[in-house]
């Protein structure tokens, strides 16, 4: 009963913070390891279970998603292909391959989130405008496409703080508001988790613990609904501060308590 309660609670918290910020895997994955599940089983079962939270959170952000449908449709295929590639890599490479660079990736993502307003203001000043109105340059567009593909691969492999990295990247190279970026992030990370889940079910069925999947899915789905309600009410400054605080906590956890 204790294990059921802890996994449900971890799934709920992960689903909520995944929608608002990202890095929910850093809650559920250690919880599963705590109860003695092998890392590969914990990683795969966690990935599949968190899909429910992504779906409910994306539904909560449906208005913001509809406003950026064109950009989302350009980025989604790259996330899907990256997610499939990352999931396949998980089956052939040791987990330590990506876990070793997770702290660096989170630090880079947080820096991008923090510096994004100044970068956008500088771009606007250079263009002689008070706020950026034109679309991103071709170079930035290519950087965005390549980055989303790489982050999709990372998400399919391990995925910790994938959302923070996507928000950081898009904040730096696009002119979208933070709330719209967060909405796009939710769809992209859900797509990555979804295709990775399908890949695991095809190639690694024996490594899936369906009891864990069910518990995490129930908790994450409920958490995703609450996360969308909370996240959509935050001001850009409050949302950015929330991302930085939770991201920093995740970084400290990985570096000192992993």
| pLDDT score for 194 | 92
Residues 6+ apart with CB under 8 A from 96: none
Residue 11's alpha-carbon distances to 15, 18, 167, in angstroms, are: 6, 10, 22
**pLDDT of 98 over the 60 cut:** no
pLDDT tens-digit series, residues 204-226: 899 899 999 999 999 999 999 99
Query: Containing domain of residue 68, as a range?
Result: 2-257
Q: Is the pLDDT of residue 127 over 60?
A: no
pTM here is 0.80
CB 162 within 8 A of CB 155: yes
Distance CA 88, CA 96 (A): 15
Count the domains in the chain.
Answer: 1
pLDDT at position 42 is 87
Q: Does the structure show a pLDDT above 70 at 125?
A: no
pLDDT digits (tens, 9 = 90+) for 34-72: 888 888 888 889 989 999 999 999 999 998 888 888 889
């Amino acid at each position: 009963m204790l294990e059921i309660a802890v996994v449900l609670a971890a799934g709920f918290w992960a689903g909520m913070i995944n929608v608002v910020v990202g890095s929910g895997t850093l809650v559920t994955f250690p919880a599963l390891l705590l109860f003695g599940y092998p890392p590969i089983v914990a990683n795969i079962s966690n990935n599949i279970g968190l899909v429910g939270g992504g779906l409910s959170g994306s539904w909560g952000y449906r208005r913001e998603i509809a406003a950026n449908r064109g950009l989302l449709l350009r980025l989604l295929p790259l996330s899907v292909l990256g997610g499939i590639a990352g999931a396949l890599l998980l089956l052939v490479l040791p987990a330590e391959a990506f876990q070793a660079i997770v702290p660096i990736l989170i630090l880079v993502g947080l820096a991008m989130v923090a510096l994004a307003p100044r970068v956008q203001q500088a771009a606007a000043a250079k263009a002689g405008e008070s706020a950026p109105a034109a679309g991103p340059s071709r170079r930035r567009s290519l950087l965005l496409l390549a980055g989303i593909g790489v982050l999709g691969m990372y998400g399919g492999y391990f995925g910790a703080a994938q959302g923070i990295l996507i928000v950081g990247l898009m904040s730096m190279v696009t002119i979208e508001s933070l709330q719209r970026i967060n909405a796009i992030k939710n769809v992209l990370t859900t797509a990555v988790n979804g295709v990775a889940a399908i890949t695991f079910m095809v190639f690694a069925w024996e490594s899936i613990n369906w009891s864990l999947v069910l518990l995490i899915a129930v908790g994450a789905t409920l958490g995703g609904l609450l996360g969308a309600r909370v996240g959509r009410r935050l001001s850009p400054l409050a949302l950015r501060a929330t991302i930085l605080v939770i991201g920093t906590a995740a970084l400290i956890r990985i570096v000192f308590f992993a």
